[in-house]
Amino acid sequence: MTTKTTPFPEGFLWGGATAANQVEGAYNVGGKGLSVQDVLPHGGIGSARSAGPTPDNLKLEAIDFYHRFADDIALFARMGFKTYRFSIAWSRIYPNGDDAEPNEEGLAFYDRVLDELEKHGIEPLVTISHYETPLHLSDAYDGWVSRDLIGFYETYARTLFDRYGSRVTYWLTFNEINSLLHAPFMSGGISTPKDMLGEQALYQAMHHELVASARATRIAREVAPNARVGCMVLSMPVYPLTPDPADVLTVMDADHANLVYGDVHTRGTYPGYFLRTLRERGIELEITDQDREDLTHTVDFVSFSYYMSVAETADPAKKVAGAGNIMGGVPNPTLAASEWGWQIDPVGLRIVLNQFWDRWQKPLFIVENGLGAKDELVDVDGVKTVIDDYRIAYLNDHLVQVGEAIADGVEVIGYTSWGCIDLVSASTAQLSKRYGFIYVDRNDDGTGTLERFPKKSFDWYAEVIATNGASLTR
Ligand code: BGP
């Protein structure tokens, strides 16, 4: 029984999150085709793709969740997870993306994952596309630049709703859909190099994804009436570097560039500020009547990742890039940063929750948040573990701010900590950038036994869940 008061509502969905390409491995097993991740050995931001899979790509084996999922889910259950966010690898279901029939072996794999979750009473939260476009769609169509992708995605999403619609309530259409313009290959399977790709093509790709997302929402309602479909955006509060109105205006523009995706998903149409951007850049989107109709099918909830805030300035002399940050911005001198340069700002999470709620009035789901850090495996009374007090502090402080936002009146339905088990990083493809409550014995050079060891944060999170947040230190 919870004796201390807690702002978290009854039924709050506590859990953890992963993505197929970062945990499953088995990249060529069970009929799976290649995805863009299988040719991104050094991560998705600023690194070149390889021609084909190479032995230095840790994602090919990842943490072998494909063969170990039952034990891993049992560990999640031991922490008391109410929900588990995972993604379905598109190329396990449609190996080339444009196949006529789905791959039954791939579908059966996720049946087994869902069986395990059901056994433990864990609610699935499924990302339909998490940075893993089938490679063939990239090579043959230039990814989301092509309108054909809408149809392929529609077929894929329909297959998932048909197969799992009676077992899965919560669906996310695209992971961090607003990263497309920043990481076109990883996020949108666009094979033309970014510097050769015109803005016209990039924005058209964005439009195609938005239409596909809305179309999937429409189909889910037809096929699986109990489904609740959300969009998923990368959130990043932007602060003015100074009170100079020019800096504040720059912040407004940066905010708009991020918020347009949520605006379209919740309002069903493009906002005026975005149309102005298109006009001023000389971009003319091809938007059909069917597209406009599709876009009106808005989401049930908004989900997002939150890792950091950034600052912005209008002064070109002060524009220094923030390390590791894919969305631009400059470092905030008041904040400390993680070992990878991501600035740590728990209050920013409260701010973004309020901003999204004020703007969209849709239930909010925090589906990624956490600290990537180097961990050291130690022996405590004969048991191998990690004393990750830094991770506990990070998560505690962010969750306290979630509680504050709930007290502000924001409707928050759940929280899934990113990388609840150590996995391969998306931006750098390292295993040493660890987020988990569970340590996985695998190193950046690929060595290791793949054995799992609960960290100190494992028991800490179990307590947070058991007390519905009352055990957090305020
Ligand atoms: C988000 C992605 C995840 C994840 C996370 C942490 O952008 O949705 O896939 O990996 O960031 O980033 P990284 O793995 O680069 O540390």
What is the domain-level CATH number for residue 306?
Answer: 3.20.20.80
**Which tens digit of pLDDT belongs to each residue from 144-167?**
999 999 999 999 999 999 999 999
Q: Report the half-sphere exposure of 5 (CA within 13 A, side-chain side).
A: 4
**Which tens digit of pLDDT belongs to each residue from 189-202?**
999 998 899 999 99
Per annotation, catalytic residue among 24, 116, 132, 176: 176
Which tokens sit at 386?
């990690």
Active site residue 368: yes
Residue 95 lies in a domain: yes
Mean pLDDT of 332-341: 93
User: Which atom of ligand 1 lies closest to the CA of 326?
Assistant: 7
Residue 247 lies in a domain: yes
Residue 5 lies in a domain: no
Specify the pLDDT at position 5: 86
Indicate the residue type of 135: L
Mean pLDDT of 433-444: 98
Distance 427 CA to ligand 1 centre (A): 6
User: Which atom of ligand 1 lies closest to the CA of 425?
Assistant: 14
- Domain count for the chain, please give it: 1
310-312/364-368 β-pairing:
unpaired
Residue 435: pLDDT band with limits 50, 70, 90 = very high
Specify the pLDDT at position 285: 98
For atom 3 of ligand 1, which residue has the closest CA? 426
Residue 273 lies in a domain: yes
Residue 434: pLDDT band with limits 50, 70, 90 = very high
pLDDT at residue 431 tops 80: yes
Distance 425 CA to ligand 1 centre (A): 6
pLDDT at residue 185 tops 80: yes
CA 198/CA 200 separation, integer angstroms: 5
Q: How many other CB atoms are found less than 10 A from the CB of residue 147?
A: 17
**Which tens digit of pLDDT belongs to each residue from 367-404?**
999 999 999 999 999 999 999 999 999 999 999 999 99
Active site residue 176: yes
175 close to ligand 1 (CB < 6 Angstrom): yes
206 close to ligand 1 (CB < 6 Angstrom): no
Residue 302 lies in a domain: yes
Average pLDDT, the chain: 96
Helix 346-360 vs helix 245-267: angle between axes, to the nearest 10 degrees?
60
* CA torsion, ordered 400, 339, 183, 422, to nearest 10 deg: -70
**Which tens digit of pLDDT belongs to each residue from 73-86?**
999 999 999 999 99
Domain that holds residue 24: 13-466
Specify the pLDDT at position 4: 77
Residue 46 lies in a domain: yes
Rg of the chain over all Cα atoms, to the nearest angstrom: 21
Residue 4 lies in a domain: no
Give SS3 for 445: coil
- Lowest-pLDDT range of 22-36, 130-144, 319-333, 405-419: 319-333
364-368/378-380 β-pairing:
unpaired
Specify the pLDDT at position 47: 86
Q: Which residues share a beta bridge with 452?
A: 440
CA 46/CA 127 separation, integer angstroms: 24
CA 372/CA 473 separation, integer angstroms: 21
Residue 3: pLDDT band with limits 50, 70, 90 = low
Which tokens sit at 178?
């607003």
Residue 474 lies in a domain: no
Per annotation, catalytic residue among 24, 132, 368, 404: 368
Mean pLDDT of 284-290: 98
User: Which atom of ligand 1 lies closest to the CA of 131?
Assistant: 9
